[in-house]
Amino acid sequence: MQELGFFTILFSAVFTNNILLTNYLGMCSFLAVSREVKASLGLGTAVFFVTAATTALNWVVYYRILVPLDLVYLRFIVFIVVIAAFVQLVEMIIERVSETLYQALGIFLPLITVNCAILGACLFMVIRDYTFGQACAYGLGAGLGWALAIMAMAGIRQRLSLRSRIPRGLEGPGIALIIAGTMALAFMGFNGMVSLN
């Protein structure tokens, strides 16, 4: 694999290879929470923070502990435990440090442990053989891309709920999927700029 720079990976993870719109990861919470901009801003921030941190953390765990001990096949369990432990830790720290931040992010943190986007980012990082710097860039980009997508989606859905006539069968998840498809089409327009694969 050729060497990719920090910003190339960051940029392509946000735009051309958006983890939500091209890999369908994190769809469950994406469809459930994207009704209001405020809630999705909270969830987006939390996912961004946890993805960026755990991708770096899991890189260290994978290459410094699992590979030397030849325990690579245990990576699913180890990754998910690292993510769960990290989320728990963040929850405790936020609770102590800032009451307002806890009010804003607190309810989203337990949801995050089973968010596919975070585990997905960790697994992609391993499969693509990233170095530590590249893994950090990818984690940041994937989290940012997910947050961007859910906020854009919430903005569109909020406006849509004000004045628009949607066929009854399409209300709720149906129209959300169509919007997501259209957004994915729009993001494909970035394809020529940088490419990961």
Partner 1 sequence: MTATKNWKLFKDNLGPQNPIFVQVLGICSTLAVTNVVKNTLVMCLGLIFTTALSNLALSLIRNSIPPRVRMMVEVLVIACMVIVVDIYLKAFYPDISRQLGPYVGLIITNCIVMGHTEAVALTSPPLPALVDGFSAGVGYSYVLLLIACCRELLGTGAVWGVQVLGPHWVNWSIMVMAPGGFFVLAVFVWIVKGWGERPAQKAQA
Please say which residue, 99 or 185, places its beta carbon nearer to partner 1: 185
Which residues would be at the binding site for partner 1 (CB under 8 A)? Answer: 21-28, 31, 73-77, 80-81, 84, 113-116, 119-120, 123-124, 126-127, 167-170, 173-175, 177-178, 180-182, 184-185, 188
Please say which residue, 5 or 174, places its beta carbon nearer to partner 1: 174
Q: How far is the CB of 16 from partner 1 (least distance, A)?
A: 11
Between CA 142 and CA 147, with CA 146 as vertex, the angle to 5 degrees is 120
Roughly how many angstroms between the first and final C-alpha of the chain, as a whole number?
A: 9
Q: What is the largest CA-CA distance in the chain?
A: 59
Q: How far is the CB of 36 from partner 1 (least distance, A)?
A: 18
Nearest to 13 by CA among 168, 158, 193: 193
Sign, CA dihedral 177-178-183-185, equals positive
DSSP state at residue 80: H
Q: How far is the CB of 178 from partner 1 (least distance, A)?
A: 5
Q: How far is the CB of 112 from partner 1 (least distance, A)?
A: 10
Please say which residue, 24 or 49, places its beta carbon nearer to partner 1: 24
